[in-house]
Structure 1
Amino acid sequence: MPYVVRVPYLSVPLLLVLLLGLAGAGPAGAVDRPVVELSRAQAGTGGSVTVTGSGWRPRALLTLLVCGQAEPSRGVTGGTNSCANADGRAVTTDAEGRFRRELPVVEPPVPCPCVVHVATVTGAGAEAEAEADAVLQVAGHAVEPLPADRAGGRLSLLADTRLRGSGGLLTWFGSPPARTLVVTVGNVGTSPVKDPVFQVGTSHGVFAPQWQDQRWRGTIRPGGKARIELPVELASGAHGDYTVSLKYGGKVLAEHPWGVGRPWGVTLFWVLVCLVVPAALFRAGLAVVDHARPRHPVHAARPPRRLLPRLPAARRPSDLPWVAPDAEPPRPTKDMKDMKDMRT
């Protein structure tokens, strides 16, 4: 005889409430993706559109750019080089991850289709980059079809990045600091990636990275991995805290901090210049004065000067010895004795 399980009547409403709660939790998690909306989908050069967004990280710094050769499904195919970077805007989200900003409409450097590209500003200590696109038709701008997606492969970072190399004596005296960025990437796509072009950027402080295209020679097969080594060089005399970023396909793959020491050799050089040059000029001036001074004939040797003042000459003693204060008393003579006897 089969067992019959009796369910209390009160448990049925509880199960319904539980199921409704689980069903409502699904759409709530989908709101976490960043969303960008425009006040209008078409605008001419010289106008402006209002860009609003939600679902972003609270208190995050975002950049707003008008980019060409882009679609929301594929992103910006040419990277930020396809965007009007000089006319971009920045905005900070509020505590709920929302923002609202006016963006001037300008022609991007490449033909449309165009989008308004919004992305978080990356840097040391920043979280993973988030981005979103909204379609914008720039009236009067050329339109060309997007290039075929020939690279079916997609690269992703497999291991931590590191900087190889160290500074030398020339760097201590202001030579450009140079390192080698070493990363390990893997092809998670379905087709091989041949001779990929990476973008290596260096940023200092709150400034945006300065990107440089660098081609890596080789082929990465689907499911394979490769060790990429790319040179990185800063300007002469650079020092401080820098961040080296690696970008591929418009997305930042890795970031690595780089602390560059101050070139104290340059400071020492200028200190020596400030001490040696004035001393050399002084010695040169003395030599010129000594050379230009007229030559005098050699005179007879003069007696050395007396350093003490000349003393007055001693006075001759007085004829009357008893008048002189320091003279000795006169000795009795024979005449004096006779005169004394006569008086007595």
Structure 2
Amino acid sequence: MLAAGPAWAAPAAEGKPTADLSLKEAAKGTEVTVTGRGWPAGTVVMLLLCGQNMIGGTNSCANDAGQAASVGADGGFRKALAVVAPPKPCPCVVNVTSVNGDQSTLALPLKITDHPVAELPTESGQARLAVLTGVQLKGDDGVLTWFGAPPSRKFTVTVGNLGSAPVKDPVFQIGTAHGVFAPLWEEQQWKGTIAAGQKARIELPVALSAGAHGDYTVSLKYGDKVLAAQPWGVGRPYGVLLFWGLLCVVIPAAVFRTGMAVVDRIRPRTDAGAAGGGRHRGVAARLPEAAAAAAAVTARLPRIPAIRRPEPAEPPQTTTAVLPWFTPDSAPGTAPAPPSAPSEDHPTTKGHP
């Protein structure tokens, strides 16, 4: 019998269970010891010796020689497994699967002496992925998102292969829907292989358009089946509103200051004003310039003829009607004309002095 010792161990990962074999190669009829660490306390672990890397499920395993081990309070177990000829040729593995708990699975390679070795058959059967647990969106919004940058998250989910064939580099579809609208799908490929009966934790990036806000729904689809959906509430980018508000205040102020500077530069200046302080002259120095400018403008204006006011009309003269049987001098209401002095042309009447 070969010397005992931990010959091969499953790759350890932080927070994940591990297992190792006491032998790397064993003959039929001997035993190997399987030691596990980091398993959930109180769970039961099933040990099976399988051929063809367990392609096709437990049909390639020596189910009659399988063993069950109980995990202790420290998360470890130790169990001897008989080395028998599996129904399929090697490459062979010892499959370690948690029956209850998180259902973790590990495959530990083992070479069996005098057992035939053949090439792995072409993978056949159907792959069927299903969501197990852990659907969530990871990530937070940064400062740039507050100013309209595209929000982004990581869609994380644990999927299991319930079919009889492994899934290699599966292509998923990530859909984003805003409110009641239909989702927009985008294909994303996950690098890795999910063997039959195993599960894997996948993370796929998802991003929205710039300035997006409101209630969104992120969906995961494999083939024609939607596996999971997760709501996503995106806040309004108030930084954009603040930016436009400041822009509406700064630009008019800058234009006003620029216009005032141009007007101040191109307006005419006098020697007295320039000697008196240039741009920052007093009010007294600016008055002559303003008067001269007003006179120049007035001189260029067209002459408007003066408007003559109508003269007041003379009151109408009233005349007294003269009756036909009165002479003008003896008409009623008229005073007799005073006697006039005799003129040279009209001598006095004879007989009168």
Q: Is TM > 0.5 for Structure 1 vs Structure 2?
A: no
Which structure is higher in RCO with an 8 Å CA cutoff and minimum separation 6?
1
Larger Rg: 2
State TM-score, norm by structure 2: 0.42
State TM-score, norm by structure 1: 0.43
